[in-house]
Amino acid sequence: MTNHIETLLAQLTLDEKIALVAGADAWHTVAIPRLGIPAIKVTDGPNGARGVSRNGTHTSACFPIGVAMGATWNPELVRQIGEALAEETKDKGAHILLAPTVNIHRSPLAGRNFECFSEDPYLTGVMAAAYITGLQSRGVGACIKHFVCNDSEFERFSISSDVGERPLREIYLRPFELAIKQAKPWTIMSAYNRINGVWASENRRLLVEILKGEWQFDGLVMSDWYGTYSERATSNGLDLEMPGPARWLNREHVLAAIERGDLSEAELDDKVRRLLRTIERVGGFANPTPAAEQANDRPAHRALIRRAGAESIVLLKNDGPVLPLDPEQSQTIAVIGANAHWAAIMGGGSSEVAPHYVVTPLQGIRARAGAQCIVDYAIGTPIFRRLPNLDPEWIRVPGSNQSGVRIDYFTNLDLSGAPVRTDHLATLEASWFGDQIEYLNLATFAARLSCDLLPPQSGRYQLGLSCVGQARIWLDDELVLDQWHKELMDGSEQRQPITLVAGKRYRLAVEFRWPTPGNWRAVQVGLWPEREDDPIEEAVALAARSHVAIVFAGLTKEWESEGFDRIDMDLPGRQNELIRRVAAVNPRTIVVLNAGSPLQMPWLDEVAAVALAWYGGQEAGNAIADVLFGVADPGGRLPTTFPKRLADNPAYINYPGENGHVLYGEGLFVGYRYYDRKGVEPLFPFGFGLSYTEFAYRNLRLSANTMRPDETITVSVDVTNTGPRPGAEVVQLYVRDSAARLTRPDKELKGFAKITLQPGETTTVTFTIDRQALSYYDPAVPGWVAEPGEFVALVGRSAADIRLSAPFELV
């Protein structure tokens, strides 16, 4: 590897070297054909590999979101997901997946919590390492992100995360350090924000001194998209500016940096060497011809997504127990809630993919319930911010019986002449990122999205149009909604009532244009029938006459997304009212929640059971049904603390920030560390989750009572399934420093193991404690310190349920 790279490096001209340190476009690096240096392609993740198109030109497998992966507490499973995502990435002709996201759940409100594994740096680092190992074992590069302290969306392009050295090292850098040392990711992405006043993409201390120096990271550092802000990005550790073409790492600024002495030619060579090394690692030199994008709906991926979804589901309450349901019992099941019919399978933003298909919870329950079960549905209450997309069953490609929408692209802005390209979409929603519009290199363009609409019932409907750009809607050649001359960067929804007749075929056409260069455009059309009655009344009546009521509630990608934070922990709309009214008429009410972060549950004492299903990917409905009917044990445990109220969370006073700064004033006391120290009881603690069986912990033992800094101690515990069913358990090891010179949390997670036991089965779980597990970071040294003295090993089922403990001494 080294000889080939050094030979190429010696042959490159200065201009060619400069060309290589910025992307060619939104998704590719620059090629140097003269020397046989190919371009490589990146694609968004972490819960799928999207490819160039956001619109389903080539669909993708949609896996459970990052926090759901974290909730499995199963690194081996996450490694398998990484392997599958490598296949998905190759399907999109890409070499690097922009994943995993390993930022910390600092506040329940952070918009991208759903992408991240946990509030805990150890759990995050272990899961990230497993993900990276699986991905890179199949020849696809991981891009661990966002480095670092990118823990909210508020003013995300400018905010300074002001954080002390100890929490920076022990909480926010630690998962990156663990993953880099254990799994050696080939690339890393700098964050949008500033850290203590310095932009992440030009932060020499983080990128050069710590990442490349202390940690000996030999991979490529790329910017987040448009995440460079000044010419200082040329000379402080950033290797690749994305997307291209270059804004700061261009010929003018790089030559100026060399002339000033800010950037040496040796440092420029190091950037290029890292890129060439990455091209070699992902097989770019061996296979320089770009692969065409394709969609492969693999049965093995379907099964893996379903299994991962079930393993992530956290059972929070189960009185009676009402769960699991018996599919062979003669019963009427009321399924209630918008999320039962419009499945919430992923969060919003850059992680979105166009899935091969979606199994809704309603479909999953109906497929799993036996012939003796009657499953009825009521929406209860809509929770849409915008009117929902047109149901694919209601629309046809114009002039055909094929479900879908035709989209025609034009190089002009008045949609005149013949289209230059035609594609098909699942519904009337499309978005575009970067200068490349689908597969057309267009900075300005227009598009017509058209379909035949076949309403299933006559009546009044609300038609909605929202766009970033300019758009208008025609219904049978009548202009019904017009945003053709509005401000471009808007996105707000305009609604218009229309009357439709069942059985009549309407031609619905949306015209969209983008007249200026830009990097984000979108259009969406929604349709919703008006009704005079209260849909909650219908749901309550259904629940009252049913044996069991399952209410699907929570959030969607409209409420949890990249680009904005949540405003509170409440369920949007009238969902709390719906749950309470259903529970009042049916004592066997089960609530299934979709969310990527904590929610308040004011109705918790009124319902029989609560299951947290996160956003489970394309097999979400089947995975939920597997758990509800006991085919799978609820295998998830909380990777983040659920507080009783927003004001209880440790970041509350210092969130989201002001005047361009956010103070990480809670220091080390993030998540359960804070609730322990303050004595604040959460709604559900970190690590919590019920099973359909019970487990007993016995016989905690240590391999020694003392250890030296260069030694390890093993901690063993016997765990028995004392219940009547097979079940999954997550055994958690925490360590307490009994007396430290500097402030330390009451306990910290240092090990975990997921086990599956048959009724009556016992297994021994063993952990290893080394010096690092006992260390804290002391800025005065500076470095990691493990002080001699007493420590306590604590083993339990959650941070608040410690079953056994034993002291030992570091000498």
Kindly state whether residues 82 and 173 are assigned to the same domain. yes
Q: Quick one: 104 and 245 in the same domain?
A: yes
DSSP 551-619: EEEE--TTTSBTTB--S-SSPSTTHHHHHHHHHHH-SSEEEEEE-SS----TTGGGSSEEEE-----TT
> Are 670 and 716 in a shared domain?
no
Distance (Å, rounded) from C-alpha 22 to C-alpha 494?
A: 39
pLDDT of residue 515: 86
The pLDDT of residue 593 is: 98
496 shares its domain with 412: yes
Q: What is the CATH number of the domain that holds 622?
A: 3.40.50.1700
Whole-angstrom Cα distance, residue 49 to residue 62?
8
281, 299, 328 - which closes a domain: 281
DSSP letter at 348 equals: B
Express as a percent the part of the chain with pLDDT over 90.
95
For residue range 200-237, list pLDDT tens digits in order. Answer: 999 999 999 999 999 999 999 999 999 999 999 999 99
Choosing from 25, 91, 120, 224, the catalytic residue is 224
**Rounded Cα–Cα distance for residues 414 and 733 (Å):** 64
Q: Report the CATH number that the domain containing residue 153 is assigned in CATH.
A: 3.20.20.300
- 513 and 653 fall within a common domain: no
State yes or no: is 224 an active-site residue.
yes
Instruction: Round to whole Å and give the CA distance between 646 and 664.
Output: 17
Contact 389, 90 (CB under 8 A): no
pLDDT of residue 433: 87
**Residues 133, 26 share a domain:** yes
Are the beta carbons of 208 and 228 closer than 8 angstroms? no
Residue 540 lies in a domain: yes
Cα–Cα distance for residue pair 60/89, rounded to 1 Å:
9
572 is a domain residue: yes
Number of domains in the chain: 4
Dist CA 465 CA 462 (whole Å): 10
The reply to whether 513 falls in a domain is yes
> 524 in a domain, yes or no?
no
Q: Are residues 724 and 622 in the same domain?
A: no
Other Cβ atoms within 10 Å of 775 Cβ, number: 17
Residues 485 and 377 placed together within one structural domain of the fold: no
> Is 124 within the bounds of a domain?
yes
Same domain, 489 and 420: yes
Is residue 799, in this structure, part of any structural domain at all?
A: yes
As a whole number of angstroms, the distance between CA 254 and CA 231 comes to 8
What strand order describes the sheet that includes 493-500? 429-433, 520-529, 459-468, 493-500
- Out of 651, 678, 705, a domain closes at 678
Do residues 96 and 149 both lie within one domain? yes
DSSP H helical ranges for 330-472: 338-341, 361-368
Running DSSP on this structure, what letter comes out for residue 104?
-
Q: What's 737's domain CATH number?
A: 2.60.40.10
380 and 395 both lie in a single domain? no
Last-in-domain residue among 615, 646, 678: 678
- With a CB cutoff of 8 Å and minimum separation 6, the contacts of 754 are 72, 73, 74, 635, 728, 729, 730, 731
Token readout for 701 is 């033992």
Q: What's the pLDDT at 219?
A: 98
Would you state the pLDDT for residue 442?
73
Q: 88-107, pLDDT tens digit by residue?
A: 999 999 999 999 999 999 99
Q: What is the pLDDT of residues 492-524, one digit of tens each?
A: 899 999 999 999 999 999 999 988 877 889 999
For residues 285 and 734, what is the distance between their CA atoms, to the nearest angstrom?
46
Q: List the CATH number of the domain containing 450.
A: 2.60.120.260
Any domain includes 308: no
Residue 528 domain-assigned (yes or no):
no
Dist. CA 48–CA 61, nearest whole Å: 6
Same-domain check for residues 149 and 214: yes
The whole-model pTM stands at 0.97
Under-70 pLDDT residues of the chain = 1, 436, 438-439
Q: Which has the closest alpha carbon to 54: 26, 25, 83?
A: 26
- Apex CA 283: angle with CA 281 and CA 287, to 5°? 165
What is the residue range of 75's domain? Answer: 2-281
How do beta strands 609-612 and 314-318 pair? antiparallel
Backbone torsions φ then ψ of 581, nearest 5 degrees: -70, -35
pLDDT at 436: 67
Task: Return the closest-CA partner of residue 392 out of 353, 367, 357, 368.
Answer: 357
